[in-house]
Amino acid sequence: MTQRHERPGARMPGDEPESDCAEDPLSGARLAFIGAGVMAESMIAGLLNRRLVEPERIVASHPRADRRAKLVERHGITTFESNREAASGADLVVLTVKPQVLGSVMQQLHGSLEPRQVAVSVLAGATIATLSRGLGHNAIARVMPNTPAQVGQGMSVWTTTANVDGAQRDRVKAMLGALGEELWVEEEKYVDMATALSGTGPTYVFLMMEALIDAGVHMGFPRRIAEQIVLQTVAGSVAFARDSGKHMAELRNMVTSPGGTSAEAIYQMEKGGLRTVFSRAVYAAYQRTQVLAKQDAGEERHSGDD
């Protein structure tokens, strides 16, 4: 069942409208979001807030009627229960489903996509080969976004098959720009690496921030004060590093005086093997990505044999 809402959609917090671009790759394009969860809604809200796409050019699918009704009410888009119906006629078909249902979704869409349509996957571990076989389609864009994309501050690393032409790639690039920064890479292996570095990256940062807040509480700060201090310290450090353009080691040296507090703190972190822990954590995440990709490929082949 299709649901439609005519008035402009509501904006999500944290997104500011931007003026229309003179040359917009998304002009006239239709976008379909297959699986309208949190990530899909973040992308939809970003596109609408930046006026990159009109609500009537966005469709989304979801199995639950209440979820479809909320999307219509909030954003004024069109919704479908059927994934195949949602994908029909779209220029970009964005796969934003949960990994465990990807196999069944690909079966539903298999052979239905036209050469002019680009299937854009934001699922970790789902390789281009798996997506191409599962969909019966060759124009694929594989994207690794991360959690800050939900507030327009994400990092998306992506690649495409040779079947995606320049105009199609520009459309994908413009869409991902609604999530924050994007980086196209020539080889798919870099998307797997990004899964471990930027995709999983917020986990490392949140754990570090949690540890710093706990350390502040241990010293005697009330937790809310320790949290405020840490949040602004991290945000300010990132802004300063970005604006300075300096190497991280140079920035660290700028705030480290001989025999001072920073020197003592760094000594303890190096003694505890902090660099090694981070390196091992990132590489472990990378290896896990490869394992998941092999598992997905095996399950997809087994499903195809049934």
pLDDT per residue as tens digits for the range 126-173: 999 999 999 999 999 999 999 998 888 999 999 999 999 999 999 999
Alpha carbon dihedral 296, 143, 41, 85, in 10-degree steps, equals: -60
Whether residue 48 is predicted with pLDDT greater than 70 in this model: the reply is yes
Q: How confident is the model at residue 101 (pLDDT cuts 50, 70, 90)?
A: very high
What is the 8-class DSSP label of residue 63?
A: S
Domain assignment present for residue 38? The answer is yes
**Between 102-109 and 128-135, two packed helices, what is the crossing angle to 10 degrees?**
40
Q: CATH no. for residue 165?
A: 3.40.50.720
pLDDT the model gives residue 39: 87
Residue range of the domain that includes 127: 31-186
pLDDT the model gives residue 125: 80
Lowest mean pLDDT among 17-26, 79-88, 96-105, 169-178: 17-26
Q: Counting every residue, how long is the chain? A: 306
Domain assignment present for residue 213? The answer is no
- The token pair at 29 is 């394009």
Beta-carbon count within 10 A of 170 CB: 14
pLDDT the model gives residue 160: 98
Task: Give residue-wise pLDDT tens across range 243-261.
Answer: 999 999 999 999 999 999 9
pLDDT the model gives residue 23: 74
Q: How far apart are CA 155 and CA 241, in angstroms?
A: 16
Whether residue 226 is predicted with pLDDT greater than 90 in this model: the reply is yes
Higher pLDDT, 150 or 208: 208
* Number of domains within the chain: 1
With contact defined as beta carbons under 8 Å apart, do 130 and 104 qualify? no
Domain assignment present for residue 73? The answer is yes
Domain assignment present for residue 104? The answer is yes
Tell me what the mean pLDDT of segment 207-219 comes to.
98
* Radius of gyration of the chain from its Cα atoms, rounded to whole angstroms: 22
pLDDT the model gives residue 178: 87
Above pLDDT 90, what percent of the chain?
Answer: 77
Residue type, 35: G
pLDDT the model gives residue 104: 95
Q: How far apart are CA 203 and CA 198, in angstroms?
A: 9
End-to-end CA distance of the chain: 30
In this structure, the strands spanning 118-121 and 92-95 are: parallel
Domain assignment present for residue 264? The answer is no
Using alpha carbons, list the distances in angstroms from residue 113 to 32, 198, 204, 250: 12, 30, 38, 51
pLDDT the model gives residue 19: 38
Domain assignment present for residue 23? The answer is no
Whether residue 22 is predicted with pLDDT greater than 80 in this model: the reply is no
Q: What is the mean pLDDT of the chain?
A: 89
pTM of the model: 0.83
Q: How confident is the model at residue 90 (pLDDT cuts 50, 70, 90)?
A: very high
Domain assignment present for residue 141? The answer is yes
Domain assignment present for residue 83? The answer is yes
Q: How far apart are CA 3 and CA 81, in angstroms?
A: 9
